[in-house]
């Protein structure tokens, strides 16, 4: 289980008794947080920062602990912030500045100078906030009494985002083949991805998977087919095609385990040695939390892996989706999002069917794929683009809806959604922002999760939703 360290701030000006009380209050606070955050994260208390040396020592414990994904800091008393400078300069993990108090209410009848000196977050946390701003350290501020539900909810959210950032730093994308020839938005600077987000984007030839697939045993295929039949309904006579996909998935699983891969891409233009484009193989892996981007889209592959981690333990689905086509009926506009095969099985509203159909592109044999209608509910659509000198995240609120009519001739899985605040503003804003046609859709995450991720990773963020107006559109390209 991942952990957060809790580092309180104080100073030695108020005497030993005061410091003892600070430590005791922090122990109680950490106990309370551990009770409330059970199953999400563990919180561990580090020595109170009274000097620059203690701060540096604490931050080195943070840096050297692989289980630690972030830090919570809080100034119980005043804590002169110069003593935080050197420690904070060593901090490389997400930081939450908890602006709270040990006491909820002011004890008006009893308050004296000792109480006021002991409990001065309003004083100490502002001094500390200044040094974070001065050092330009990305951080999240959560304000309120620590036992209040909204404060706990924010800390829980921070823990989930910090865990996702922890995974981000360990993300390794295997790209089988390059990105699709001539496509712009899937391209970019892989080196910058590793520098900024920790994503190792590593190239392998698809021949690696073809060779592994060739060595898959009959027993392994049978086991994979049993897994498919347990989850999905066979709706094809062409079982051979499904068995071929089973081989690909077994091969991919072996490759993923051996090379410590968390995400991968393939490309229908580069399938040498494979009879089919991986369909159900990719769909089933995505449903298990493996990141995926088609056509060599390493950014979306990595992002989907990171966002699936962020959504861990929450209701709903998260995964790669591609924008396809619209229903432009006035006032009832909808988008049909899908892909030629690879829609994550986690989005299925009904039990998916395994079907085999011809695929017009790629010049390969008919691939087996899962066909289903998507889940409904509030969600977000998130993408990440590389603008050369910086990355930009675009996040739009959407409402996933039931398809208004059956689409019996469309042989792929699909989801449908409504844009916010409406079709005209929502889609125009996405286009102005340069949002890709590949994205991660989630019904588990919210815009606020993505905003926290963007802030903590120092990424430019453009959000679109019910608060987006015509006036916002006019601001694009009018700088
Ligand atoms: Mn595409």
Domains of the chain, residue spans: 3-169, 171-477
Could you tell me the distance, in angstroms and rounded to a whole number, from the CA of residue 294 to the centre of ligand 1? 6
Could you tell me the distance, in angstroms and rounded to a whole number, from the CA of residue 136 to the centre of ligand 1? 37
Could you tell me the distance, in angstroms and rounded to a whole number, from the CA of residue 292 to the centre of ligand 1? 12
Could you tell me the distance, in angstroms and rounded to a whole number, from the CA of residue 322 to the centre of ligand 1? 6
Could you tell me the distance, in angstroms and rounded to a whole number, from the CA of residue 343 to the centre of ligand 1? 11
Could you tell me the distance, in angstroms and rounded to a whole number, from the CA of residue 160 to the centre of ligand 1? 29
Could you tell me the distance, in angstroms and rounded to a whole number, from the CA of residue 438 to the centre of ligand 1? 6
Could you tell me the distance, in angstroms and rounded to a whole number, from the CA of residue 154 to the centre of ligand 1? 35
Could you tell me the distance, in angstroms and rounded to a whole number, from the CA of residue 360 to the centre of ligand 1? 14
Quick: pLDDT tens for 193-232.
999 999 999 999 999 999 999 999 999 999 999 999 999 9
Could you tell me the distance, in angstroms and rounded to a whole number, from the CA of residue 183 to the centre of ligand 1? 9
Could you tell me the distance, in angstroms and rounded to a whole number, from the CA of residue 146 to the centre of ligand 1? 45
Q: Where does the pLDDT of residue 476 fall: very low under 50, low under 70, confident under 90, or very high at 90 and above? A: confident
Over 80: is that where the pLDDT of 181 sits? yes
Could you tell me the distance, in angstroms and rounded to a whole number, from the CA of residue 338 to the centre of ligand 1? 10
Q: 171-477 in CATH: which number?
A: 3.20.14
Could you tell me the distance, in angstroms and rounded to a whole number, from the CA of residue 470 to the centre of ligand 1? 29
Say what percent of the chain tops pLDDT 70: 100
Could you tell me the distance, in angstroms and rounded to a whole number, from the CA of residue 323 to the centre of ligand 1? 8
Q: What is the mean pLDDT of the chain?
A: 97
Query: Which pLDDT score is estimated for 478?
Result: 66
Biggest CA–CA distance in the chain, Å, is 82
Interatomic CA distance for residues 77 and 80, integer angstroms:
10
Are the C-beta atoms of 434 and 373 separated by less than 8 Å?
no
Query: Which pLDDT score is estimated for 479?
Result: 56
Query: Which pLDDT score is estimated for 299?
Result: 98
Average pLDDT estimate for 251-266: 98
Could you tell me the distance, in angstroms and rounded to a whole number, from the CA of residue 437 to the centre of ligand 1? 7
Could you tell me the distance, in angstroms and rounded to a whole number, from the CA of residue 157 to the centre of ligand 1? 31
Could you tell me the distance, in angstroms and rounded to a whole number, from the CA of residue 214 to the centre of ligand 1? 28
- Number of residues that this document lists for the chain: 479
Query: Which pLDDT score is estimated for 14?
Result: 86
The class level of CATH for 3-169 reads: alpha beta
Could you tell me the distance, in angstroms and rounded to a whole number, from the CA of residue 361 to the centre of ligand 1? 12
Could you tell me the distance, in angstroms and rounded to a whole number, from the CA of residue 1 to the centre of ligand 1? 36
Question: Does the reported pTM lie above 0.85?
Answer: yes
Query: Which pLDDT score is estimated for 76?
Result: 97
Query: Which pLDDT score is estimated for 361?
Result: 85
Quick: pLDDT tens for 69-124.
999 999 999 999 999 999 999 999 999 999 999 999 999 999 999 999 999 999 99
CB atoms inside a 10 Å sphere around CB 359: 20
Q: Where does the pLDDT of residue 390 fall: very low under 50, low under 70, confident under 90, or very high at 90 and above? A: very high
Could you tell me the distance, in angstroms and rounded to a whole number, from the CA of residue 436 to the centre of ligand 1? 9
């Amino acid at each position: 289980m991942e952990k957060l360290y809790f580092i309180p701030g104080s100073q030695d000006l108020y005497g030993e008794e005061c410091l003892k009380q600070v430590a005791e209050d922090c122990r109680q606070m950490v106990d309370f947080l551990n009770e409330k955050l059970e199953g999400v994260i563990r919180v561990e208390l580090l020595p109170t920062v009274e000097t620059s040396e203690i701060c540096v020592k604490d931050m080195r414990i943070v840096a050297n602990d692989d289980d630690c994904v972030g830090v919570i800091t809080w100034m119980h008393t005043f804590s002169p912030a110069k003593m935080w400078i050197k420690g904070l300069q060593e901090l490389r993990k997400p930081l939450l500045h908890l602006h709270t108090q040990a006491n909820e209410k002011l004890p008006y009848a009893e308050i004296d100078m000792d109480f006021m000196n002991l409990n001065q977050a309003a004083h100490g946390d502002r001094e500390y906030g200044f040094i974070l701003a001065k050092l330009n350290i990305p951080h999240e501020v959560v304000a309120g009494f620590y036992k209040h539900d909204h404060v706990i909810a924010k800390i829980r959210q921070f823990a989930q985002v910090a865990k996702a950032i922890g995974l981000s730093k360990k993300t390794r994308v295997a790209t089988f083949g390059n990105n699709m020839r001539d496509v712009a938005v899937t391209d970019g600077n892989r080196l910058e991805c590793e520098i900024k987000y920790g994503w190792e984007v590593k190239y392998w030839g698809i021949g690696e998977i073809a060779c592994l697939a060739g060595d898959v045993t009959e027993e392994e295929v049978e086991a994979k087919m049993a897994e498919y039949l347990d989850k999905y309904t066979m709706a094809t006579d062409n079982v051979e095609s499904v068995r071929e996909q089973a081989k690909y998935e077994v091969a991919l699983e072996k490759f993923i385990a051996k090379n410590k891969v968390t995400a991968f891409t393939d490309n229908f233009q580069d399938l040498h040695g494979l009879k089919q484009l991986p369909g159900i193989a990719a769909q089933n892996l995505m449903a298990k939390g493996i990141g995926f981007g088609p056509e060599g889209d390493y950014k979306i592959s990595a992002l989907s892996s990171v966002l699936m981690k962020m959504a861990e333990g929450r209701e709903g689905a998260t995964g790669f989706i591609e924008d396809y086509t619209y229903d432009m009926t006035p006032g009832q506009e909808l988008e049909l999002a899908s892909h030629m095969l690879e829609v994550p099985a986690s989005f299925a509203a009904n039990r998916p069917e395994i079907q085999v159909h011809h695929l017009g592109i790629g010049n390969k044999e008919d691939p087996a794929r899962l066909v289903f209608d998507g889940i409904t509910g509030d969600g977000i659509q998130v993408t990440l683009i590389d603008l050369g000198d910086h990355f930009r995240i675009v996040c739009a609120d959407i409402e996933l809806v039931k398809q208004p009519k059956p689409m019996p001739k469309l042989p792929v899985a699909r989801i449908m959604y409504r844009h916010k605040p409406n079709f005209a503003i929502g889609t125009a804003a996405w286009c102005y922002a340069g949002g890709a046609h590949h994205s991660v859709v989630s019904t588990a995450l919210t815009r606020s999760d993505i905003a926290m991720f963007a802030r903590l990773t120092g990424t430019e963020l453009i959000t679109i939703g019910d608060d987006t107006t015509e006036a916002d559109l006019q601001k694009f390209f009018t700088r």
